[in-house]
Structure formats: structure tokens, C-alpha cells
Amino acid sequence: GCSPVLPFFLCAMYAPICTLEFLYDPIKPCRSVCQRARDGCEPIMRRYNHSWPESLACDDLPVYDRGVCISPEAIVTDLPEARSPLTPLNRFPFSSSEERCRCKKTKPTLSTYLAKNYSYIIHAKVKSVERGSCNEVTTVVEVKDILKSSMPIPLSQVPLLTNSSCQCPPLQPKQDVLIMCYEWRSRLMLLDGCLVEKWKDQLNKRFKRWEQRLQEQKLRTARSKNQNAGRSGRSGAPKPSTKNTNPLAGGPKKAIKIRNGQKEINPKKV
């Protein structure tokens, strides 16, 4: 075929991945998968006067690290068999081929925090890690404190959802942790690239400093955008015409010749 990911992309678009948590919101393929399929196939399509269909527009699809989507790399195919739905997982990784579940190492630094712009931060204790009928991983945590959130989070047990059959970052039951990640459609996500740290009291103070820097950065960005918009608005306004349309108002005063033999009249003397 024109792209090795095209069959996966089309299947994910027209026969979405199943999961109990997303019965009414099918999991779409990731934008990067669409772009890889489009980049491989569109040149061939153009030879026959066709372009990539608007119904498969890549810009309408989610980005992997900010929402729920599916990619070929996220699927572990050699999982242990005969596992019942919502079976507790006792170890990480979940594949018998351990190299298939490799998580990104995200350093807990200020630069990471500013770049990632996490939407929720909680102090929680891990209660269980479970796998559903479609190999999706759900991490159940007991929320002890809510440090940042754009939606209500109860101080009770809540599920953290993944967009992969691997649990990244890895968590184990009974761990007391600080979790920084994203919200998606009123759900708390646990995604590769999010931050998980063993809880320490000083983390709360460090988070507050980081959040203050993040808000300062957002304020500077907003001011810069407003200034740029003001400049572009002024530069785009039509300039007043400097050309004088009155023939008597500007330029050297010339005498006006009158026909029928009359004398010349100087406009200054009129």
C-alpha cells in the first residue's frame, strides 16, 4: 500500500476501538497517524487528480499527549490470554514482552512544567490498576488533595484513564504520589509524558512556585499578542491622502486665462 499505517488508520476511523469508558465517545486515531497515512498516499492520489478526503481531515483529530487517541505503537499484541475484564494488574509492564511497554522519562523541572501546561494536579494514593475487556488500562486512585483542576474532582476514589494498553507513567497500588496530567471531556487522564512523583510535603511549595511562573508566562504571552494585534491594526489602517484635490489651494498660484480677450485674473486678487 501507499502507507504502512493506512489500514490501521482506516480501521480506527470507521471501526473505532472499543472501551467501556468511551461507549459514547469512540476513540479516534491520533493526528500523527493520519498525517503519516496522508503523506504517504496523497502524492499517489494526486497523480489521478484526487486529493486527501475532507472527511479524513487530520486537523480534526486529537494529539496523542493531550487527549485520548489510538496509534499502532500503543497496541501491545502479545498480552497474556484468558484475562477477565477489569482484572487487577500486579506488575508493570503488562506485556510478556516487557520491551513493548517503555514509558517516556519526563523530568520534573520548571521548564517541563511550563511547556506541558498540565490541567490537573492531585495528591493521591494508588488503590488499584485494572485492565478492561479491550486491554485499556484504568488506574484507580484515592484523591487526598486537589492542587489544580479546571473541573470538580471529588476527594474520593476516581479513575485515571490511559490512551494505550501500556500504563505510562507506571504506578503501583499503595503508592502515595503527586500526579500532573490532563483532563479530557470531564475525565482525568494518565498519559505518557505526564508527571508522577513520590509524594513529599515540599512538593506542594514547589508546585505553587511553578504555577506562579506559569501564570506569569501566560500573562506575558497575552500582553504580547495584544500589542502585536494593536500594531497590525494601526499599520493596516488606510493613511489619509496627502494629495490636494483643490486646484486653487495648493501649488504655485497661476493666473487663470479668460477667453474673449479679457485680462488675466490673479486668484490672489479675486
Calpha distance 243→94 (Å, rounded): 78
What is the rounded distance in angstroms from the CA atom of residue 155 to the CA atom of residue 266? 93
What pLDDT sits at residue 186? Answer: 82
Query: Among candidates 214, 170, 163, 215, which has minimal Cα distance to 189?
Result: 163
- What are the structural domains, with CATH classification, of the chain? 1-74 (1.10.2000.10), 77-229 (2.40.50.120)
* Neighbour-count burial for 221-247, b at 16+ CB within 10 Å, e otherwise: eeeeeeeeeeeeeeeeeeeeeeeeeee
Q: Which amino acid is at 117?
A: N
For residue 266, the number of C-alpha atoms closer than 13 Å in the C-beta half-sphere is: 4
Backbone angles phi, psi at 71, to 5 degrees: -140, 160
Give the tens place of pLDDT for each residue, 60-98: 888 765 656 777 766 644 444 434 344 444 333 333 333
In angstroms, the CA 34 to CA 8 distance is 10
- CA 157 to chain CA centroid, Å, is 27
193-214 per-position pLDDT tens digit: 889 999 988 788 888 888 899 8
Above pLDDT 90, what percent of the chain?
A: 24
